[in-house]
Amino acid sequence: MTLRVLGVDPGLTRCGIGVVDIERNRRATMVAVGVVGTSAELTLDRRLLVIAQAIDEWLDLHQPDVVAVERVFSQMNVSTVMGVAQASGVVIAAAARRDIPVALHTPSEVKAAVTGSGSANKDAVTKLVTKILRLDAPPKPADAADALALALTHAWRAGNGTGAPGAKGSSALTPAQKAWAEAEAKARRAR
């Protein structure tokens, strides 16, 4: 059985979208990746419409089992956070309209899941996403890699909630699992 996850790194200027198939043995394969960009010269309604239409197309084309969206924090840069939240609302509602489950993951959960460290930088995430998905080149821009990382994170967490492939159980936590558990606890506190 393969789980298909569509990950979204929401944003008005660039909205990263990535689709990944994850097999029961946790092997992950990239199906598609892309970025939808909108110009700041457009009005907000036009920008959100472009994003809404793109998400609709991706959902219709790839028919994911679940949609994973980055959880937006109000601690972000105030000049961009409202647009990010509005875009995420559009994406989440589009999935809900199709009765596709939506999962939210924090940036630190994603970093921990993919790199083993909840405080990894964007380069490290991109590098590991490239390796995990056996890609010839790193997905660009970073928003595209982040969308794939979100999809991977969701699939692995949904699988057994403990970590990346190779995780053996909670009695002997790997560094990645430990970082993950810490990131999760932190995210829970922040909710």
Residue 182 annotated as binding? no
Among 109, 143, 146, 184, the one annotated catalytic? 143
Q: 117-144 burial by CB neighbour count: b if 16+ within 10 A, else e? A: bbebeeeebbbbbbebbeeeeebeebbb
- Length of the chain equals 191
Nearer to its own copies, 3 or 72 (CB): 72
Nearer to its own copies, 23 or 57 (CB): 57
The rounded distance, in Å, linking the Cα atoms of 185 and 100 is: 27
For 123, how many CA atoms within 13 A lie in the half-sphere containing its CB?
A: 0
- The answer to whether residues 52 and 181 touch, using CB atoms and an 8 Å cutoff, is no
Residue 9 annotated as binding? yes
Per CB under 8 A, 25 contacts its own copies: no
DSSP string, 47-61: HHHHHHHHHHHHHHH
Sheet with 3-9: list strands edge to edge: 28-37, 14-22, 3-9, 66-70, 102-105
Residue 70 annotated as binding? yes
**Is 45 an active-site residue?**
no
Rounded to the nearest whole angstrom, what is the least distance from the CB of residue 190 to its own copies in the complex? 11
Per CB under 8 A, 44 contacts its own copies: yes
**Interacting residue with its own copies among 27, 39, 97, 160 (CB under 8 A):** 97
- Inter-CA distances, 126 with 40, 74, 78, 149, Å: 26, 24, 25, 8
> Which residues within the stretch 73-92 sit at the binding site for its own copies (CB under 8 A)?
73-75, 78-79, 81-82, 85-90, 92
Spacing of C-alpha 101 from chain mean position: 14
**Interacting residue with its own copies among 72, 114, 142, 147 (CB under 8 A):** 72
Spacing of C-alpha 157 from chain mean position: 12
Nearer to its own copies, 151 or 176 (CB): 151
Rounded to the nearest whole angstrom, what is the least distance from the CB of residue 177 to its own copies in the complex? 26
**Interacting residue with its own copies among 93, 131, 161, 165 (CB under 8 A):** 93
**Is 9 an active-site residue?**
yes
By CB under 8 A, name the binding residues for its own copies: 43-46, 48-49, 51-52, 72-75, 78-79, 81-82, 85-90, 92-93, 95-97, 101-102, 104
Which positions make up the binding site for Mg(2+)? 9, 70, 143
